[in-house]
Structure 1
């Protein structure tokens, strides 16, 4: 369906707050932790990798998730499957996220707009092709919840991981590795890489080697900040990510896009107010 302007970026700004509830909303991983997991990273990997089942090894999860440093996934996969099951993790993750959304959204969670947005987003998400999108494809095989808030969160998760799979393809096309992606992102926000939450824990020598490699390719300057080519690379990655995320919205009319904007704006804003920044 033809839209007067690209839709994916506009939808991303509204869907992403819902999609990151498992990671940023207080209490969203309580149900997962109650399964006997050791820490929040156990909860992260158990919840996000559960659609693949217990037989997928850490090396494959590392490849699909793309942006973890070597060895980080293996500290949790397959150990988490000795503590719980993928089926229990999926149920606990959904239950915890729905409870967290209801807590922060209050009466808004029962607004008819939630059900409308959930149905439209689900139609969009399930229309997209799965080729080359391993995590999205794994999520597609899961049962769709009936309860509106759960349905909305499920649809947002589908679209987030569809976009994420495309983002990984864009990074790969530009030759940006997993840890490099975090450095690129941090420096694009004028934040020193060693202060960025996803890589600040890495050994200094390891992070320095990553930055040195980017400097050798002309992405980072001698001053430690992105060069013009580094910023252009970041812009190309984002532009390609947006292009690759357009497909789901081909089944949504321009009027339905406006309906989504109207229905998602208040609940996305309510969720963001609870984020830790």
Structure 2
């Protein structure tokens, strides 16, 4: 029997903060030490590294939701400063240190090992077809150290879901920059206030919003229409549906145990991040 979609979605909420420590200050410092010019150099080097020396066009396609030209500002420049193999190692070290710092005493408990074992079973059980970033991560060596292994496992599940989310966006005709604009609106922000796109030319952002408005997804004052809200809900539901295959290997009791075990870890990460 498939797991309830509510539990699959709950897993995404718990995995997200654990995997996202990658984008915090400690990993960023590691990349700056390699000669990266700024945060985004490190972001693209670390996240794209499992794809090898893929050109900017390929990274752009896999990442999906960056504006045209954004990836090319960093790829392949970063590969003149480091290699994908070194970037993978730097990312793992920095992310592990950040996670350990945020979860404190939880890092050394037997519960963490048990939770990681359950999550890892799920993380390596899903099909890789149509999921390039997840497949790239699956090809990497799995860290043995418990906190590093938890971060790696969370990243696998996070990118598996992310690849599926891109497919859901594509199926609903939502382009990359449109996805970021819609995310901003869902957070109650104007597009020009959202970190991923705020630096884009005002006319470019306005054209994206105008296109969403012309399709009936956005109101004149920049909110969601009923159609826009329904479309977003359908995308999220399809994303959960596509993510569910990772958890089929777990029994209902095991998934409940995994959720219960991740909750204090995710809460600690969020609290430390705040």
What is the TM-score when the length of structure 2 is the normalising length? 0.97
Provide structure 2 residue ranges, at least 5 long, that are not aligned to the other structure: none
Deviation per CA, 1:211-262: give whole Å up to 9, x if none. Answer: 1111111111222221111111111110100000000100011111122122
Structure 1 vs Structure 2 CA RMSD: 1.3
1:188–1:234 Cα contact (<8 Å) kept = no
Aligned equivalents of 2:128, 2:4: Cα separation in 1: 25
Give yes or no for the alignment of 1:69 onto 2:67: yes
> How many corresponding residue pairs?
274
Query: Which residue pairs with 1:156 in the alignment?
Result: 154
Distance apart, 1:14 and its partner CA:
0.9
Alpha-carbon distance change, 230 to 2 in structure 1, aligned in 2, over 3 angstroms: closer
Structure 1 gap segments, 5+ residues each = none
For 1:226 and 1:4, the matched residues in 2 are separated by: 28
CA gap 1:27/1:210 in 2 versus in 1, 3 angstroms: same
Contact kept, 8 Å, 2:96 with 2:147, in 1: the verdict is yes
How do residues 68-147 of structure 1 correspond to structure 2 at under 5 angstroms?
68-147=66-145
Partner-residue secondary structure (3-state), 2:124: helix
Q: Which stretch of structure 1 is more off in the superposition, 81-90 or 256-265?
A: 256-265
Query: Which string of whole-angstrom CA distances, capped at 9 and with x for unpartnered residues, describes residues 105-138 of structure 1?
Result: 1111111111111111111011100111010011
Whole-angstrom CA distance in 2 between matches of 1:64 and 1:225: 28
TM-score (normalizing by structure 1): 0.95
In the TM superposition, residue 6 of structure 1 has moved relative to its aligned partner by 4.5
**Is contact 1:26–1:274 with CA below 8 Å preserved after alignment?**
no
Conserved? CA contact 1:6–1:246, under 8 Å: no
4+ residue segments displaced more than 4 Å: none
